[in-house]
Amino acid sequence: MKDCCTPKGKSYDLAVIGAGSAGFSAAITAAEAGARVALIGHGTIGGTCVNIGCVPSKALIRAVESLHHARAASRFDGLEAEARITDWAATVAQKQALVEELRGAKYADVLSRYEGIDYIEGRARFDADGQLTVDGDVFPAARMIIATGSRPHVPRIPGIEAVETLDSTSALEMTALPASMLVLGAGYIGVELAQIFARAGVAVTLVSRRGVLPEAEPEVSRALEGYLEDEGIRLARVEGYESVSQDADGVHLQVTGAEPLRAERLLLATGRVPNSDDLNLAAAGIAVDARGGIGVDALMRTANERVWAAGDVTGRDQFVYMAAYGAKLAARNAVAGEERAYDNSLMPWVVFSDPQVAGVGLSEAQAQAEGHEVVTSVLPLDAVPRALAARDTRGLIKLVAEAGTKRLLGAQILAPEGADSIQTAAMALRAGLTYEELGDTIMPYLTTVEGLKLAAQTFEKDVAALSCCAG
């Protein structure tokens, strides 16, 4: 890694504030375009995904998945298996070793390959005159990209300041498992973490006001709720949160119109907040929304013509690949004078629950809200040969299409291996395929992705009447 201090007398074409996925994407893109770039980081390099988000959570999801597979082995006649945790601290340490390895390989060690990038360690913010500073000193840069990411949201519940809560960061660092846990929030973070700890032997109550994955198709949400309950996760749908307290017995959460919920620990999974509040953005003429997300136009430019923003700090599409995508566009627009517009209309997304949830395009409700007359197809996974052979038919596939043209508008998959199939749906939508064309596509037998073909055929056929490979 390069010098941590600002080179005296040196000015930059671009200063990138934030050294996470978006920041690295912006810096590398700008350097490849010939710009002199300062990448300004504060704290651990690499940002959320590699350090405290995607990598550690998915590593532990895979670890406890082994426990589940052993417990589920009896679905095959003549098989029995057992698995148990012998040293959770060792599991967490192995996860952390992977984090550190990837942080070095994909972030710290990458910088030396780019002569046009200087890494600057320091706290960046705008001064009263709207000039960029690093540790209080004015920093020379013609243009800037803000990519400071986000942090876990703490809900406003009376008493919460006095409770020793967990969040998505600290929960994945625990070396000892509690006996019981309340997980507050049933979005993708809450669902993933609840299942990790439930499979590790913790008595988990998943608490929410809108149910499990409220933005997913209702058929998907309802089915996943049932599968989580089957694994012993208690689901508590509440109207609101009155107060929370902690004593020697644990945490007590008083909810509206119901008995208090109690557990040893409370994990907050109520979303994330953009890291924009310590930048003095108003002095630079940069607007934020009610949650602190930096406002940008389609070209990723803020209200300040010299400043762009990308990634979680904009408050939208909080996925690492979308952060990198938006940052790349911002960099090209900032240093190369291009006008590349951000397009998330075909953004695939995944929840790494088990079964996995994945989607792309419009849901049925979204398509109707946009004025489309729609038709839908819902295929249960017990109609997919791959699921039958695996003796695991948890899940379904839902496709949304325009009624007149039969053009596909969206897809959601709930399946044990669903995440690896959603890109096929994304490509189908990008190509403008109709459900007839998707149904005619050749797909390999005994794969999960074949379910997309069968779901497409279900619009007009009863697939139960077809032979195994009938087109």
Mean pLDDT of 450-457: 96
Residues whose CB falls within 8 Å of the CB of residue 4, separated by 6 or more in sequence, listed in order: 119, 120, 121, 122
Confirm whether 57 is domain-assigned.
no
Question: Which residues, listed in sequence order, are joined to residue 145 by a DSSP beta bridge?
Answer: 16, 308
Do residues 230 and 208 both lie within one domain? yes
Mean pLDDT of 416-426: 95
Instruction: Tell me the pLDDT tens digit for each residue of 230-284.
Output: 999 999 999 999 999 999 999 999 999 889 999 999 999 999 999 999 999 999 9
- CATH number of the domain that 173 lies in? 3.50.50.60
Identify the pLDDT of residue 145. 98
Long-range Cβ pairs for the range 156-160 (8 Å, 24+): 157/241, 157/242, 157/243, 157/244, 157/253, 158/242, 158/243, 158/244, 159/243, 159/244, 159/245, 160/244
Query: Is residue 151 within 8 Å of 47, Cβ to Cβ?
Result: no
Do residues 387 and 325 both lie within one domain? no
pTM of structure: 0.93
Identify the pLDDT of residue 3. 47
> What residue type is 399 in one-letter code?
L
Do residues 278 and 132 both lie within one domain? yes
Distances in Å between the Cα of 468 and the Cα atoms of 380, 388, 425, 459 are 16, 12, 21, 18
d(CA 234, CA 194): 10
Instruction: Tell me the pLDDT tens digit for each residue of 165-195.
Output: 999 999 999 999 999 999 999 999 999 999 9
Residue 394, SS3 per DSSP = coil
Do residues 172 and 235 both lie within one domain? yes
Confirm whether 72 is domain-assigned.
no
Residue 441 is part of which domain span?
Answer: 349-463
The answer on pLDDT for 215 being more than 80 is yes
Domain total of the chain: 3
Do residues 141 and 173 both lie within one domain? no
Do residues 144 and 280 both lie within one domain? yes
What percent of the chain shows pLDDT beyond 70?
97
Other Cβ atoms closer than 10 A to 129: 9
Query: Is residue 254 within 8 Å of 175, Cβ to Cβ?
Result: no
The answer on pLDDT for 291 being more than 70 is yes
Instruction: Tell me the pLDDT tens digit for each residue of 364-394.
Output: 999 999 999 999 999 999 999 999 999 999 9
